[in-house]
Amino acid sequence: MKSYFIGILILVVAYYTYGKYLEKNFEIDERDTPALSKADGVDFVQMNWFKSFLVQFLNIAGLGPITGAVAGAMWGSSSFLWIVFGTIFAGAVHDYYTGMISLRNNGENMQELIGKYLGKKAKVFTKYFLIVLLVIVGVAFITGPAEILQSFTGVNKEIWLTLIVSYYVIATLLPIDKIIGRVYPLFGGALVLMMFLLIGAMLVKGVKIPEITLKNLHPKNLPIFPYMFVVISCGAISGFHSTQSVLVARCLKSEKDGRKSFMAAMYLEGFVALTWAAISLGFFSGVEGLAASGGGMVAVSKMITGLLGKYGLVFTLFGLIALPITTGDTAFRSARVTIAEVLNYNQSSLKSRLLVAIPLFLLAGFLSQVGFNTLWRYVASTNQLLATLGLWTCTYYFIENGKNYWVAGVPAAFMSGMIACYFLAAPEGLGVSNMTFIYILGLLVFISSIIVIGIKASKSNKEVDEARI
């Protein structure tokens, strides 16, 4: 139990210490934000910091910090360490800086930022890769809640798919403050209430959370690295978050709101993931019990109903459905915006938004026939690849602006090595079984990344010196 509460304490202290340092490193000022300079009443709309924070949190907190944390707990309490320190040194850095860099670049989308700082080839790759990721995330968050609703109500999955897609269409087309900005605060408050009720029930019922151990407890003996670091994506670091940060960057009234919106949302998501990982191991008395529970949605439902009794069903339906839906709608919104920007197609009129959205949702309807678990495997891996590109973008931004680039550079190098290991080992990758070879290659990628960052910084400093002369 101590390990869980120490983890929460570390998160709180880090937000008010390291988080403030990250803000200082960026050097916020009083310049006009895109919400003021590019106001269009649709995507560039002013929102206060609290509403922006809740929108950002619910945008990024889909099923990932719940199902990902539960799945990550299969390796044991070592998952606590990745959630806590991943949130502090990778996820919060990524979410805050991608949002702030977008804000400094007139609210530009991720492919534009990647192109500006990493080059045209990276931009070409990202603009198509990003659309694929957003569509997969959106579809996963159609099928996930539809499958849950079918299991509880017995109503055909196709009916739920139709209703959820109908909501997505409305949320994707209307101005961001008309539905998302108004409904999300209610969802956010209810989610936080659910988390505290679960913690309270856990304490009252004496659920024993195991202390930290680095021993690999996975029932199939899958290596902790890199598998756990990909499975627990949204609860530690996720590239999808950057696509949401740029949306909220278009709504901030002041740069001062950035830390309270982007960074605080990631820290809260880390808290959610840590709580679910802890409850998973405590409620089922360890990894063996968790594995026997069936895992995934089934395990989550059993935990909520077991801890909260007759009220658990209500929270199960609300939490496990509202969360993915409030992420899925903004995934499609981001996809619409990204496609429109790739095509240089103005989105100010409803007609123009429909012309982009209709083909998008037709494709989503086709892909929704694929099961959630199948889709999620690809969401997790592509998430971490985009997160790596996001951290590299932040690193190069700081090099160009003469700031401390290592705060983003070290996690960028780490993620590069990790994702290289994963794509070598994973079944959806090359499926290499020699883990010694994989680890050596991953280490070489990490070291090479550090060297590349150092060379880039050295060249940048030399160019600045020559310009001064």
For the stretch 305-346, pLDDT in tens is: 788 887 766 766 666 666 666 666 667 777 777 777 777 777
d(CA 89, CA 138): 27
Structural contact between residues 63 and 144, judged by C-beta atoms closer than 8 angstroms: yes
Closest residue by Cα to residue 411 from 425, 398, 426, 424: 398
* Residues 73/222, Cβ–Cβ less than 8 Å: no
| pLDDT for the residue 233 | 83
The whole-number pLDDT of residue 322 equals 67
Contact in structure between 329 and 167 (CB atoms under 8 Å)? yes
The ranges of the chain with pLDDT < 50 are none
Q: What is the pTM of this model?
A: 0.86
Residue type at 215 in one-letter notation: K
Query: What is the Cα gyration radius of the chain?
Result: 21
Q: Which helix (H) or strand (E) holds 406?
A: helix 406-425
Q: Are 237 and 90 in contact (CB under 8 A)?
A: yes
- State the Cα–Cα distance between residues 202 and 158, nearest whole angstrom: 36
Domains of the chain: 2-20+46-379 (1.20.1740.10)
User: Rounded to the nearest 5 degrees, what angle is found at the Cα of 275, between the Cα atoms of 245 and 243?
Assistant: 15
| Residue 431 and residue 399 in contact, taking contact as beta carbons nearer than 8 Å | no
Q: Which of 374, 394, 82, 370 is nearest to 234 (CA)?
A: 82
Answer whether 118's CB lies under 8 Å from 389's CB: yes
